[in-house]
């Protein structure tokens, strides 16, 4: 009896059983409910019980034909785009009609990134830096999505679960911030992607999951990474609003991210954007992709469907850009990168006192002793060290 009453409290109120149900469960002396119910009473109080499933776990109709749901990978979730491969707007109502300076900023950001990639990749080959990963072919995903965010929004590059936690904190603080979490289609295979999606949905967090599906995880092609319809198809499984976009179309990326941001914050719910693109470069400076893919495949994307080329065609067709400006900007952007690089190389190294900080928030006693010992040592023997290369 007590159990039935407890059950009624737990199940009755939240599962839509209604007052009649509660009354039924509380009936004294009820051992087997079915046996103690007169037929008429069932029909009177639960007219809908025969028609609809009452399972707490799912809300759906009954079906009396055995049929498995076929995963749809031949014609999967469609790819949203605004421009065609030649940079022409397809549906004018989807054109974000951004002002010229903003679109030029898109273009200059993407090309500056491309220039920086070339210079830094080379500098790794020359031994000036230890490691580098380029963005070739994916510039549209970065710039289009970043442009749609506010300056106070939080960006996580990886760490899917932690991003959800941050979004939860932002919601609780009423911060009017969205969290965006970037990851590749390979990283989506990690267990914490599953946990991240599920928690974002159940905790109702203002987060945009931005998946860059670029075709490869180091050498693993998507055909070996998953068998379903990419990452976008997983979203609905978690109850997450999802979309697949043409990642090489900077306006499509912008539109989707802008709308996702608006709604994520207004409605406190997660969004999943799968940006389809192609990794033109190697995975990193430690990789040689000619080992696992053809040069022809790479050239197709470089020549026929590149985010920078498509935006350039859009700009040129509006008279907002031309060959001369292109030449001048290439020179200028190269100069910018080289100057920044040289400035960074000239910077003095951090102060030696910083050797001991930041393992914990408060410096533990034994580290403070070591810091003081070093300070004393440098006072006496400082001339033997290249201290002018370091900040004070």
Partner 1 sequence: MAAVSGLMRRPLEQVSGLLRRRFHRTAPAALQVTVREAINQGMDEELERDEKVFLLGEEVAQYDGAYKVSRGLWKKYGDKRIIDTPISEMGFAGIAVGAAMAGLRPICEFMTFNFSMQAIDQVINSAAKTYYMSGGHQPVPIVFRGPNGASAGVAAQHSQCFAAWYGHCPGLKVVSPWNSEDAKGLIKSAIRDNNPVVVLENELMYGVPFEFPSEAQSKDFLIPIGKAKIERQGTHITVVSHSRPVGHCLEAATVLSKEGIECEVINMRTIRPMDIETIEASVMKTNHLITVEGGWPQFGVGAEVCARIMEGPAFNFLDAPAVRVTGADVPMPYAKILEDNSVPQVKDIIFAIKKTLNI
Interacting residues with partner 1 (CB under 8 A): 130-131, 186-187, 189-192, 217-220, 224-226, 291-292, 355, 359
- Nearer to partner 1 among residue 108 and residue 293 (C-beta): 293
Among 159, 258, 163, CA closest to 206: 163
Nearest approach, Cβ of 389 to partner 1 (angstroms)? Answer: 11
Residue with smaller CB distance to partner 1, 75 or 130:
130
Of 128 and 172, nearer to partner 1 (C-beta) is 128
Nearer to partner 1, 107 or 216 (CB): 216
Q: Name the minimum Å distance from CB 190 to partner 1.
A: 5
Q: Which of 275, 219, 268 is nearest to 245 (CA)?
A: 275
Distance of alpha carbon 219 from alpha carbon 188, whole angstroms: 16
Question: How far does the chain reach from its first CA to its final CA, in angstroms?
Answer: 76
Closest approach, Cβ 53 to partner 1, in A, equals 32
Q: What are phi and psi of 100, to 5 degrees?
A: -55, -45
Q: Give least dist CB 224 to partner 1, A.
A: 6
Torsion of CA 321, 324, 325, 328, to 10 degrees: 160
Per-residue buried b or exposed e for 312-340, using 16+ beta carbons within 10 Å of the residue's own CB: bbbbeeeeebeeeeeeebeeebeeebeee
Query: What's the min distance (Å) between Cβ of 216 and partner 1?
Result: 11
> DSSP for 210-251?
EEEE-SEETTEEHHHH-SSSTTGGGHHHHT-EEEEEETT-HH
Residue 11 or 356: the one with the smaller Cβ distance to partner 1 is: 356
135 burial type by CB count under 10 A (0-12 exposed, 13-18 middle, 19+ buried): buried
9 or 385: CB nearest partner 1: 385
Strands 220-221 and 216-217: antiparallel
Comparing C-alpha atoms, which of 311, 206, 294 is closest to residue 251?
311
Minimum CB separation of residue 382 from partner 1 in Å reads 18
Cβ of residue 92: shortest distance to partner 1, in angstroms? Answer: 41
DSSP state of 12: I
Instruction: Pick left, alpha or beta for residue 319 (phi over 0 → left; psi -120 to 50 → alpha; otherwise beta).
Output: left
Looking at beta carbons only, is 34 or 359 nearer to partner 1?
359
Rounded least distance, CB 186 to partner 1, Å: 5
| Residue among 34 and 291 whose Cβ is closer to partner 1 | 291
């Amino acid at each position: 009896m007590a159990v039935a009453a407890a059950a009624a409290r737990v199940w009755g109120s939240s599962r839509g059983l209604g007052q009649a149900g509660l009354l039924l469960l509380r009936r004294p002396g009820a051992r087997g409910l079915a046996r103690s119910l007169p037929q008429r009473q069932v029909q009177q109080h639960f007219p809908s019980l025969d028609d609809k499933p009452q399972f707490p776990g799912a809300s759906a109709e009954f079906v009396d034909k055995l049929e498995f749901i076929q995963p749809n990978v031949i014609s999967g979730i469609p790819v949203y785009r605004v421009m065609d491969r030649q940079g022409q707007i397809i549906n004018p109502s989807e054109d974000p009609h951004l002002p010229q300076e903003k679109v030029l900023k898109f273009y200059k950001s993407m090309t500056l990134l491309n220039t920086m990639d070339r210079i830094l990749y080379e500098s790794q080959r020359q031994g000036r830096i230890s490691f580098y990963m380029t963005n070739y072919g994916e510039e549209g995903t970065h710039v289009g999505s970043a442009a749609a965010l506010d300056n106070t929004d939080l960006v996580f590059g990886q760490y899917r679960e932690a991003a959800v936690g941050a979004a939860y904190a932002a919601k609780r603080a009423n911060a009017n911030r969205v969290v965006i979490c970037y990851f590749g289609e390979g990283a989506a295979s990690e267990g914490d992607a599953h946990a991240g999606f599920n928690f974002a949905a159940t905790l109702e967090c203002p987060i945009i999951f931005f998946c860059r599906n670029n075709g490869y995880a180091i050498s693993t092609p998507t055909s070996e990474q998953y068998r379903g319809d990419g990452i976008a198809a997983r979203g609905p499984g978690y109850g997450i609003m999802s979309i697949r976009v043409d990642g090489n179309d900077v306006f499509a990326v912008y539109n989707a991210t802008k709308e996702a941001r608006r709604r994520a914050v207004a409605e406190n719910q997660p969004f999943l954007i799968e940006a389809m693109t192609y990794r033109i470069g190697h995975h990193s400076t430690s990789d040689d992709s000619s080992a696992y893919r053809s040069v022809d495949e790479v050239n197709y994307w470089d020549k026929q469907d590149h985010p920078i080329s498509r935006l350039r065609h859009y700009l040129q067709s509006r008279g907002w850009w031309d060959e001369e400006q292109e030449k001048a900007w290439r020179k200028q952007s190269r100069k910018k990168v080289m100057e920044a690089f040289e400035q960074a190389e000239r910077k003095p190294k951090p102060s030696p006192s910083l050797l001991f900080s930041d393992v914990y928030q408060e410096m533990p006693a034994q580290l403070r002793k070591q810091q003081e010992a070093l300070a004393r040592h440098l006072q006496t023997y400082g001339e033997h060290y290249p201290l002018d290369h370091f900040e004070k």
